[in-house]
């Protein structure tokens, strides 16, 4: 006997299809568009026990959606998983993101550099109990928005000290060590971030791991290709 598929909610502006194929293989997915009045809030009220909410577009961070923001934060604090990804990082304005993190989420995460560089999975990263991370890349090149002020335990992928830009325009200039994929505790739940503007498969695999969709119940350890990290399990 297998458990019923978990429920994943998606808040976006338009309908997503290709980006959801692998998620739909293991979860029931319901989308809500900001273009329809109160649709995201209504969807959350219909599925309060959803496994995760993937917020693909950043409309929620505007004052217009302050009530929805409050409901999403409450959902996370009560044990839910919220992931900011897709088009989120490439559309949201830095001051809006910083204010939203500070005033709504009470987190120190701040909008950082926009860069192309190699990011490395962090041995200090944590995640929910039994979430399986086999198949996550140990390192890969990513172009996107990085975050500042992310505690080591919240950082999944980061540009290590001594990193250089891999931009074809600016060349191998030194850049800051910052976080490209974050996943941190919020109350009893979690908040995730992916800054990858191209949403590479390595990033999509991290999103599915945050959602628990690559979980293998029979294993009690976490493995990465070529590396064995003894991860800290919480939850």
Residue range 111-131, pLDDT digits in tens: 999 999 999 999 888 887 656
Q: Which of the four pLDDT bands, split at 50, 70 and 90, describes residue 234?
A: very low
206-221 pLDDT tens trace: 999 999 887 554 343 3
| H-helix or E-strand spanning residue 209 | helix 201-210
Residue among 8, 3, 41, 13 at smallest CA distance from 27:
8
pLDDT value of residue 164: 84
Residue among 59, 61, 58 at smallest CA distance from 70:
61
Q: pTM for the complete prediction? A: 0.87
7-234 under CATH 3.40.50, yes or no: yes
């Amino acid at each position: 006997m297998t458990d019923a598929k978990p429920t994943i909610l998606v808040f976006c502006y338009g309908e997503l299809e290709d980006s959801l194929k692998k998620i739909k293989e293991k979860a029931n997915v319901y989308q809500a568009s900001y273009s329809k009045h109160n649709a995201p809030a209504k969807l959350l009220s219909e599925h309060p026990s959803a496994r995760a909410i993937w917020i693909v577009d950043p409309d929620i961070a505007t004052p217009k959606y302050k009530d929805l923001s409050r409901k999403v934060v409450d959902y996370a604090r009560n044990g839910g998983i919220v992931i900011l990804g897709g088009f989120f990082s490439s559309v949201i304005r830095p001051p809006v993101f910083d204010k939203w993190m500070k005033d709504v989420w009470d987190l120190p995460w701040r909008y950082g550099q926009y860069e192309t560089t190699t990011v490395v999975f962090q041995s200090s990263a944590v995640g929910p109990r039994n979430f399986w991370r086999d198949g996550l890349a140990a390192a890969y090149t990513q172009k996107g928005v990085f975050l500042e002020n992310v505690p080591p335990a919240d950082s999944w992928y980061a540009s290590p000290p001594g990193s250089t830009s891999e931009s074809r325009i600016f060349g191998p200039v030194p850049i800051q060590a910052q976080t490209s994929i974050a996943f941190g505790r919020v109350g009893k739940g979690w908040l995730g971030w992916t800054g990858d503007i191209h949403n590479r498969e390595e990033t999509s695999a991290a999103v599915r791991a945050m959602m628990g969709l690559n979980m293998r119940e029979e294993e009690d350890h976490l493995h990465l290709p070529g590396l064995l990290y003894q991860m800290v399990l919480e939850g």
